[in-house]
Amino acid sequence: MRKQAIDKTPARLDFLQSATGLILALFIMGHILFEASILISNEMMHRVTLMFEGYYFFGERYPGIISFLAAAIFTVFILHAFIAMRKFPSSYKQYKIMKNHISGMKHEDTSLWMIQVITGFMMFFLGSVHLYIMMTQPANIGPHLSSARVVDQFMGPLYFLLLISVVLHAFIGLYRLALKWGFMEGESTKKSRAFFKLLMRSFIALYLLVGLASLARYTYIGLHEDISIPYAQEKSLQKEVK
């Protein structure tokens, strides 16, 4: 009797979803920390911007590098979103069943999955706007230009909601990856889960604190500093580097 062929597509999609999710989570961790350079000084944030524009490697600024990086992340982001959507509730009836299941079972891991569904839905719209701006306006990044976007262009509320959604989604996702790929197996799975949940909560709290502090700093600069001539500061810093 001929053996029935096993469809490996679901397993491959699961692996691809995990891989793209890991890439995005690591990107978010780095992105928030680089943005937090504004907490050190305006000059430090400006120097970080110059680094990503290739100034320290090529001796000139190439904002197109930021466009390329944003486009690459956007591609991974869209791929991850479309793969993950196959597991989302596809109707209000399914959503109600899941909600009743969460309420009745009071199972924390299921609740975390639902938070990922909600934050993933938020990110699909909020993250797309942010990445599109980075792709089309790569030269408008810096302590004053970014602050102007937060205040004068009223992007502060969007960045606030985006920060909350990406931090929750990323670190819950990393916890679920560790669970899915066997990092919590062993003699005491219960203790392993408790440890990884503690790590998850700690990183969520830390990154929310750092991200909110950075957003507050950009808002302060936009409200209280002269952001009309940011290139004067940039030119003086470039002379210092040379």
pLDDT of residue 229 exceeding 70? no
Residue with tokens 């985006």, as numbered in its chain: 162
pLDDT of residue 231 exceeding 50? no
Reported confidence tier of residue 102, pLDDT bands at 50, 70, 90 = low
36 DSSP assignment: G
User: For residue 117, which phi and psi values (nearest 5 degrees)?
Assistant: -60, -45
Rg of the chain's alpha carbons, rounded to an integer?
21
- What's the whole-number mean pLDDT along residues 99-124? 78
Lowest mean pLDDT of 182-186, 191-195, 213-217, name the range: 182-186
The residues, ordered by sequence, that sit 6+ positions from 143 with a Cβ below 8 Å of its Cβ are 38, 42, 43, 45, 46, 221, 230, 233
Reported confidence tier of residue 242, pLDDT bands at 50, 70, 90 = very low
Q: CATH number for the 11-241 domain, one of 2.30.110.10, 3.40.1280.10, 3.30.70.260, 1.20.1300.10?
A: 1.20.1300.10
Beta carbons of 120 and 111 less than 8 angstroms apart: no
